[in-house]
Structure 1
Amino acid sequence: MARVSLSCPSPLGGLLRRVLPSLPHTVRDTDVPPLFREPYILSGYRPAGLPWRCYALSLLQMHNETVNVWSHLLAGVCIALRFCVFTVFRGGGILGVRLQAPEGQGLSLDPASLPLVLYVLSSLTYLSCSAAAHLFQSHSELTHYSMFFLDYAGVAVYQYGCALALYLYSSDPAWRHSRVGEVFLPAAALLAWLSCASCCFAKLRYRRPYPLRRKLCQIVPTGLAYLLDISLVAHRLATRSWTSNPALPLHGLQAMLFMLACFFFSYPIPECFCPGQCDIIGHGHQLFHVLLSLCTLVQQEALFQDFTSRRPSLVREHGEGRLLLACASFPCLALCSMLTALATRRHTCARLRKEQQR
C-alpha cells in the first residue's frame, strides 16, 4: 500500500517519523469491513486497525469523513468564540457569574444566564462528540460502536439543552400555560433520553444492509423530540409578526435549516444518483452535517436575542427556585444518556467476544 512519507533532516526527521507516522492512502469500500461502508460511497475510506494517532492525524487528510469532522469542529469553535464575545460585550455571564452586574463590576450569581450557558455547553458537547465519532470510528468495530454511542448521548444532551433554553427564553406565557407547556420539560427530557436509547439500540441490533426499521428507530424518537422542542417556536411564529422581534426570523431560518438537514440525513442524496462521484465532498451525510452546524449557529443567535430581551424578567416570571431546579435537571439527563451509552457498549463488547469465539 502506498504511503505518504515525511522527509526531514536527521535527527529531527527520525523523531518526527516516530511521533508522526506516515498515513496510508485511503482505500475502496471493498477493502474495509462491511460495518464501515456507507451506501453509494465507493472510496475514501481509511483502513481499519491503524494506531490511534493515525486517525488523529487523518484530521489533516482528505477522506470521506473529513467534511463531517471539520464542519462540526469549526462550528464548535465559532459557537465558543461567539459566546465569549457576547459575554464580554453584552454581559451574558459565564457559569452564572456576571461580568457586568447592574450595580457595577463584580461577581454575583445570575440564575437567568444559567440556561444559556447550558445550551452552549450542550451544543459544544454534541459537536465535539460527533466530530470525535467520525474521526476515530474506523479504528476497530468496538471503537466504531463506542464512538457512535457517545455521539448519540451528545445529541440527547443537546436536545435537552436546546429545549431548556427555548422554554425559558423563547416561549410565550400563553403557550407555557397550555397543556403542552405544562409538561414540556419532563417530556423533553424523556424524549431526549429515548432518542439516545433508541439510536443505541438500533446501532447494536441491526447489521448492514440496514432495514427500514433501523432508520425509523433513529428518526421517530428524535423527530418527536424536535417537534416538541419547536412547538413553542412555531406558536410564537404563528401568533406574532416576524418583524416585531429580531429573533423571530432567526428562529424561522433555523427551523428551515433543520428540516433540510433531516432530509439529507434520511435519504442518500445526491450519491444515490451518482455512486462514487461524491465520495470525498458532497454526499448527503456531509450536507446534513453542514446544515446542522448552520442551524446551531443561527439558533444560538436567536437565543442571544431572546436572552437579551427577556433576561430582566426571567426570574420574576419563573421564580428563582424553579429556574435552578430546571437547570439541575440538565446534568441528570446528561448522566442518564451517558449511562445508556455505556450500558449499550457493554452489550456490544459481549456480543463481539461471542462472535470472535465462534
Structure 2
Amino acid sequence: MLSTKLPRLLNIDEIPQVFQEHGILFGYRHPQSSATACLLSLFQMTNETLNIWTHLLPFWFFVWRFMSMLCVTDVQNDSYSWPLLVYMGTSCVYPLASSCAHTFSSMSKNARHICYFLDYGAVNLFGLGSAIAYSAYTFPDTLVCTTFHDYYVALAVLNTIISTGLSCYSRFLEIQKPRLCKMLRVLAFAYPYTWDSLPIFYRLFLFPGESAQNEASLYHQKHLAMTLLASFLYSAHLPERLAPGRFDYIGHSHQLFHVCVILATHMQMEAILLDKTLRQEWLLASSRPLSVLQITGAILLGVLFSLSNIFYFSAALYRTPEPEQRKKET
C-alpha cells in the first residue's frame, strides 16, 4: 500500500524554527526529507499538500490556454499578439515554480530558502509579463504615447530586479527579525505591483478614455479586489492565527492566498484578452507597439538579473553561519 511508505508527519515542536509556520501546529514533513519523500507528499495530507495543488492544477489550465492561443496566432507575423503571448507564458511559470517550491522546501534549510528564491523570481517575472501586456493593451487613452508610457516597461524591468533581490534578502531575517522580514517581503511585491497597476488605477478612477470604456474594466476591478484580498490573507495569517491547530491541513491563510492569486490572474487574463480584442483598431492607429527587441530585451534582462540575485543569495546561504554557531564564535 502507498500509505505504508509515506513518512511520519511531525508537529511544530519537532522541527527547526525556520520550518515553522505561524498558527500551524501539525502536519509538518521531516526537515531532511529526500526528493522522493517530497514527491510522495503530493499524495499525503500534510500542511503543504493543498499549497502545492492549488498552484499545480492551475498551472496546467494556464498552459492549456497558452497553447490554445499559440495555435490560433501567426506568431511570426502578428506582432500585435506578441505581448499577450509573453504574458500568458509568464502566467504559466509562477504557478509551477510555486508548486515546486512547496514540494521540495522540506529537503533542508538551505534547499527551502533556494526553492523560495526561485519562487520569488518567477512571481516577479510574471509581474514583468503583466507590465508588458498592460503597456500594449490596457493603457488609458490619455496616457498612450506619453513619457510615462515610453518608460513604463523599462522601469518595470528595474522593479523586477530590485524586488527579487529584496524578497530574497528578507529570508535572511526570518529568525532574528521576523517582523522586518515580513514587512520587507510584502514591500518587495507591493511596490512593483503598484507600479504595474498605475495605468489601471488611472483608467478605473480618473479618465479611461473612449476606447478604454469597455467590458474589460469590470474584470480589472475584480482583479484588483482579488489581489487586495490575497495581500490581506498573506499578511494577516488568518484564520489560523485565531485558532492555532484548527486549519493546519485545510483552510489556512496560505492556501486561501494561493486560490485568490490564481483567481486574480484569471480575472487579469480575461481583462487583457478583452482589451486586446476590443481596442485593437484604436491601439494600432494611435499607439507605438512594442518591438520584438523591446519585448525580448525586457524579458532577458529581467531573467538574467533576477537569476544573478538568486545565485548571489543562494551562495550567501553557505557563507552565513548558523545563529548557534555565531554565538559560539562570539
TM-score (norm 2): 0.90
| Structure 1 residue ranges without an equivalent (≥5) | 6-21, 99-107
Please tell me whether the aligned partners of residues 269 and 283 of structure 1 are also in contact (alpha carbons under 8 angstroms).
yes
Counterpart contact for 1:69–1:132, Cα < 8 Å: yes
Task: Report the residue type matching 1:223 in the other structure.
Answer: A
Q: Distance in 2 between matches of 1:288 and 1:219?
A: 13
Contact 1:111–1:315 (8 Å) recurs in 2: no
**Within-5 A mapping of 1:1-358:** 4-5=3-4, 22-88=5-71, 91=72, 93=73, 97-98=74-75, 108-178=76-146, 180-204=148-172, 206-208=173-175, 210-238=177-205, 239-240=207-208, 244-311=213-280, 314=283, 317-319=286-288, 322-328=290-296, 329-351=298-320
Offset from partner CA, 1:163-189 (integer Å, 9 cap, x none): 111111111231234554343112211
Partner Cα distance (2:121, 2:212) in 1: 37
- Contact kept in structure 2, 1:4 and 1:25, CA below 8 Å: no
Indicate how the Cα distance of structure 1 residues 297 and 162 shifts in structure 2: closer, same or farther if over 3 A, else same. Answer: same
Contact 1:242 1:248 survives alignment (8 Å): no
- CA deviation after TM superposition for structure 1 residue 353, in Å: 8.3
Q: Is the 8 A contact 2:212 2:279 kept in 1?
A: no
Q: Decide whether the 8 Å contact of 2:237 with 2:253 is kept in 1.
A: yes
Q: What value does the CA root-mean-square deviation take over the aligned residues?
A: 2.4
Percent of aligned positions with the same letter in both sequences? 28
Give the letter for the 2:53 counterpart.
W
The residue identity in structure 2 corresponding to 1:194 is: I
1:4 is paired with a residue whose SS is: helix
C-alpha offsets along residues 324-356 of structure 1, whole Å, 9 cap, x if unaligned? Answer: 232121121111111111111011122258977
Return closer, same or farther for 1:202/1:138 CA change in 2, 3 Å cut-off: same
Which amino acid in structure 1 is aligned with residue 55 of structure 2?
A: H
Q: In structure 2, what residue type is equivalent to 1:236?
A: R
Deviates more, 1:181-190 or 1:267-276: 181-190
1:256-297, CA deviations, whole angstroms, 9 ceiling, x for partnerless residues?
000000000111111111000000011111111110011111
Distance in 2 between the 1:336 and 1:223 partners?
20
Larger radius of gyration between Structure 1 and Structure 2: 1
* Deviation at residue 244 of structure 1 after TM alignment: 4.3
Q: In 1, distance between residues paired with 2:248 and 2:227?
A: 23
Q: What is the alpha-carbon distance in structure 2 between the residues aligned to residue 341 and residue 355 of structure 1?
A: 25
Give the Cα–Cα distance (whole angstroms) in 2 for the partners of residues 26 and 310 of structure 1: 53
| Counterparts of 1:218 and 1:289, CA distance in 2 | 16
Aligned residue pair count: 323
Inter-CA distance 111–356: structure 2 relative to 1 (3 Å threshold)? farther
Cα deviation, residue 29, structure 1: 0.9
SS in 2 for 1:183: helix
Shift of 1:221: 3.1
Find the counterpart in structure 2 of residue 16 from structure 1.
none
Tell me, yes or no, if the aligned pair for 1:246 and 1:305 is still in contact at 8 Å.
yes
Indicate how the Cα distance of structure 1 residues 354 and 277 shifts in structure 2: closer, same or farther if over 3 A, else same: closer
- Cα distance in 1 between the residues matched to 2:177 and 2:246: 22
Structure 2 spans left out of the alignment, 5+ residues: none
Question: Quick one: structure 1 residues 84 and 288, their matched pair in 2 at CA, closer, same or farther if it must change by over 3 Å?
Answer: same
